[in-house]
Amino acid sequence: MNDTAVDTEGAWFEPERIRELRRRLPIPYVDIVPVRTDTDGTISEVGLLLRASGTGRIVRAIVSGRVLVHETLREAIARHVEKDLGPMALPRIPVAPQPFTVAEYFPTPGQSLFTDARQHAISLAYIVPVDGETGPQEDALDLAWCSVSELLDSGMLDEMEGGHDIIVRRALAHGGLI
């Protein structure tokens, strides 16, 4: 075995170390817009989580999270979908994941359309069809599957923070729906 092999155990850092790194480095993320599709592949519903934000507000959110050390993008997408939507969500992750957009989050409001008070993060955004049974997991309070028209007409996008509403709008535009 090669002595310079990289240790894949413990794929993340202690809380104090990640706080320090977040102040110094952009952190890679994936943003995932879970969707249900018709038989022809057209987006019919979008899944939005309801959770408490870091500011103490109850907000709508998409599936989102860090990419771990030695984790492929496909693995990160699968892990975050399972963590937020459940082990029976059955996501259809593309063989070669190509993001539909890239979001650059800054801690300083106004520097970008996307904000995250904790850090500078660069997120690759994916539309991921989900076929299985889903339910809110971990810190999510609820999961709502909304038709595209309901989503656009209901004001639910206004309940999102940090630019997640922009990610959802871009996903719908990418799918040819707005």
CB 51 within 8 A of CB 44: no
CB 35 within 8 A of CB 128: yes
Instruction: Work out the average pLDDT over 102-118.
Output: 93
Q: Are strands 43-52 and 58-61 parallel, antiparallel or unpaired?
A: antiparallel
Q: Report whether pLDDT(175) > 50.
A: yes
29-63 per-position pLDDT tens digit? 999 999 999 999 999 999 999 999 877 899 999 99
Lowest-pLDDT range of 55-59, 166-170, 171-175: 55-59
